[in-house]
């Protein structure tokens, strides 16, 4: 099956070097995840494996990346072959032998690529099946308060356009425009009520919602005014929930 992401592995890999990722996104994910010591982590929608490698380097005992894009998984496996950190990758669905074996599922910008409510539910089900008792699902979503045109995200390396009013499944066009990159993908907006309802139906507790923040280094290096527009109107939010019925 082809995917809009098959040719974008280098774009997402290179995006990792942008200020947005190094000073805001990665530190925000780090704060949300907390101590990874000894954890088994599934990186759902791993793309080129940036976060799969990152969690392994930051204490995870085991890290597996899962993605439906052959281009992304091919790139991730090539990275691991060139510079092994001890991660592995799965193309397609979660294999039976990995069901219930993870402590944490991380999903960075994957739920926004569900094109239907059924796909959104399937992604949440995959996260729930992957987790053992007490397992957490931490995921980055398009912010429910996102309003196209509220600010320009171009200084942060991307542009977002969408037709208002936004509702469940509304297309959101993401143009990655940084360094020499100029590539476009289509994401979907999902309302907070639908996201919470779908996570609960898949067996999770009601998620905690956390807005991103900038690292101290990010403020020192680039100045508070540079970040102001983004922090006033963040396009993403982090949710954190636990498999219901599990000990926390
Ligand atoms: C925006 S990219 C993010 C990649 C990576 N998480 C990152 O932040 O660098 C979204 C990824 O989700 C993957 N994806 C979309 N739907 C998926 C699904 N149902 N199961 C697994 N991966 C999926 C895409 O192939 C793509 O690689």
- Domain assignment present for 154: no
Judged against a pLDDT cut of 50, whether residue 247 lies above it is answered with no
pLDDT of residue 2: 82
- Domain assignment present for 125: yes
Percent of the chain with pLDDT over 90: 97
| Domain that includes residue 200, residue range | 9-146+190-242
3 state DSSP class of 74:
helix
Please give the distance of CA 222 from its chain centroid, rounded to a whole number: 24
> Mind listing the pLDDT tens digit for each residue in 171-183?
999 999 999 999 9
- Domain assignment present for 89: yes
> Mind listing the pLDDT tens digit for each residue in 57-116?
999 999 999 999 999 999 999 999 999 999 999 999 999 999 999 999 999 999 999 999
**Residue 57, φ and ψ in degrees, nearest 5:** -70, -20
Contact status, residue 69 vs residue 5, Cβ threshold 8 Å:
yes
Task: Count the residues in the chain.
Answer: 248
Atom 14 of ligand 1: nearest residue by CA position: 45
d(CA 79, CA 77): 5
CA of 110 to the centre of ligand 1 (A): 5
Average pLDDT over residues 202-211: 97
The partner residues of 174 in beta bridges, in order of sequence, read: 160, 185
Q: Which distant-in-sequence residues (6+ apart) come within 8 Å of 40 by Cβ? A: 60, 61, 62, 63, 101, 102, 103, 104
> Mind listing the pLDDT tens digit for each residue in 24-58?
999 999 999 999 999 999 999 999 999 999 999 99
> Mind listing the pLDDT tens digit for each residue in 118-140?
999 999 999 999 999 899 999 99
Among 152, 159, 188, smallest CA distance to 176 is for 159
- Domain assignment present for 238: yes
- Domain assignment present for 85: yes
pLDDT of residue 248: 43
In a mutational test of the pocket of ligand 1, which residue from 20, 64, 113 has the highest number of ligand atoms less than 8 Å from its CB?
A: 113
- Domain assignment present for 159: no
Residues in contact with ligand 1 by the CB-under-6-Å rule are 3, 5, 12, 45-47, 50-51, 66-69, 72, 108-110, 113, 123
Average pLDDT over residues 164-170: 97
- Cis amide linkage into residue 144, ω under 30° from 0: no
Atom 18 of ligand 1: nearest residue by CA position: 68
CA of 63 to the centre of ligand 1 (A): 16
**Residue 44, φ and ψ in degrees, nearest 5:** -80, 125
Atom 23 of ligand 1: nearest residue by CA position: 45
CATH number at residue 201: 3.40.50.150
Atom 19 of ligand 1: nearest residue by CA position: 123
Q: How many domains does the chain have?
A: 1
CA of 222 to the centre of ligand 1 (A): 29
Average pLDDT over residues 2-25: 95
- Domain assignment present for 173: no
- Domain assignment present for 182: no
Atom 11 of ligand 1: nearest residue by CA position: 45
CA of 4 to the centre of ligand 1 (A): 10
Judged against a pLDDT cut of 80, whether residue 245 lies above it is answered with no
């Amino acid at each position: 099956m082809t995917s809009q992401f098959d040719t974008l592995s280098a774009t997402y890999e290179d995006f990792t070097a942008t200020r947005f990722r190094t000073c805001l996104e990665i530190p925000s994910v780090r704060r949300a995840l907390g101590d990874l010591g000894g954890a088994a982590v599934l990186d759902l929608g791993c793309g080129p494996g940036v976060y799969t490698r990152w969690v392994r380097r930051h204490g995870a005992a085991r890290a597996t990346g899962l993605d439906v894009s052959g281009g992304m998984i091919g790139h991730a496996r090539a990275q691991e072959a060139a510079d092994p950190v001890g991660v592995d990758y799965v193309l397609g669905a979660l294999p039976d032998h990995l069901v219930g074996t993870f402590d944490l599922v991380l999903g960075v910008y994957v739920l926004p690529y569900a094109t239907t409510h059924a796909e959104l539910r399937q992604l949440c089900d995959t996260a729930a099946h992957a987790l053992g008792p007490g397992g957490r699902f931490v995921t980055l979503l398009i912010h429910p308060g996102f309003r196209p045109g509220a600010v320009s995200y171009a200084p942060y390396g991307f542009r977002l356009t969408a037709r208002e009013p936004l509702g469940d499944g509304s297309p959101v066009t993401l143009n990655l425009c940084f360094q020499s990159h100029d590539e476009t993908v289509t994401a979907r907006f999902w309302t907070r009520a639908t996201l919470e309802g779908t996570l609960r139906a898949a067996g999770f507790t009601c998620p905690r919602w956390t807005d991103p923040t900038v690292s101290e280094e990010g403020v020192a290096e680039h100045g508070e005014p540079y970040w102001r527009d983004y922090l006033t109107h963040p396009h993403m939010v982090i949710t954190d929930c636990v498999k219901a019925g599990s000990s926390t």
